[in-house]
Amino acid sequence: MPTEVRINLPTGELVGLPVHESSRSIGEMKDYYWDEVARQKLDPGTLVYRVQALQPVPEGTEGGLFFGTTFIEPGLVGDEYFMTKGHFHRNRDRSEYYITVAGAGALILMDESRRTSFELMQPGSIHYIRAHTAHRVANTGDSVLAFVACWPSDSGHDYGSIATKGFSARLRTIAGVPTLVEEP
Ligand code: M6P
Ligand code: ZN
Ligand nearest to the Cα of 92, by number = 2
For the stretch 21-53, pLDDT in tens is 999 999 999 999 999 999 999 999 999 999 999
For the stretch 85-136, pLDDT in tens is 999 999 999 999 999 999 999 999 999 999 999 999 999 999 999 999 999 9
Q: Is residue 1 predicted with pLDDT exceeding 60?
A: no
Calculate ∠ Cα 132-158-31, nearest 5°.
115
Q: Residues 6 or more apart from 125 whose CB is under 8 A from it?
A: 99, 100, 119
For the stretch 148-172, pLDDT in tens is 999 999 999 999 988 888 899 999 9
Give the whole-angstrom CA distance, residue 82 versus residue 140: 8
Prediction pTM value: 0.97
Residue 161 is predicted with a pLDDT of: 87
Cβ–Cβ under 8 Å, residues 177 and 80: no
Give the whole-angstrom CA distance, residue 84 versus residue 25: 10
Atom of ligand 1 nearest to the CA of 136: 15
* Closest-CA residue to 157 (of 93, 87, 103): 87
Give the whole-angstrom CA distance, residue 80 versus residue 32: 10
Cβ–Cβ under 8 Å, residues 77 and 160: no
**What band does 3 get if pLDDT is binned at 50, 70 and 90?**
low
Q: Which residues pair with 70 in a beta bridge?
A: 51, 147
Ligand nearest to the Cα of 159, by number = 1
* Average pLDDT for the chain: 96
Which protein residues touch ligand 1 with a CB less than 6 Å away?
51, 68, 70, 84-87, 96, 149, 151, 157
| Spans of all domains in the chain | 5-182
Q: How far is the CA of 133 from the centre of ligand 2 (A)?
A: 9
Domain 5-182 is found in CATH 2.60.120.10: yes
Cβ–Cβ under 8 Å, residues 5 and 40: no
Atom of ligand 1 nearest to the CA of 148: 7
Q: How far is the CA of 175 from the centre of ligand 2 (A)?
A: 31
Hey, is 176 helix, strand or coil? coil
Task: Give the number of residues written for the chain.
Answer: 184
Ligand nearest to the Cα of 66, by number = 1
Sheet holding 177-182, edge to edge: 76-77, 80-81, 169-174, 177-182
Give the whole-angstrom CA distance, residue 84 versus residue 70: 9
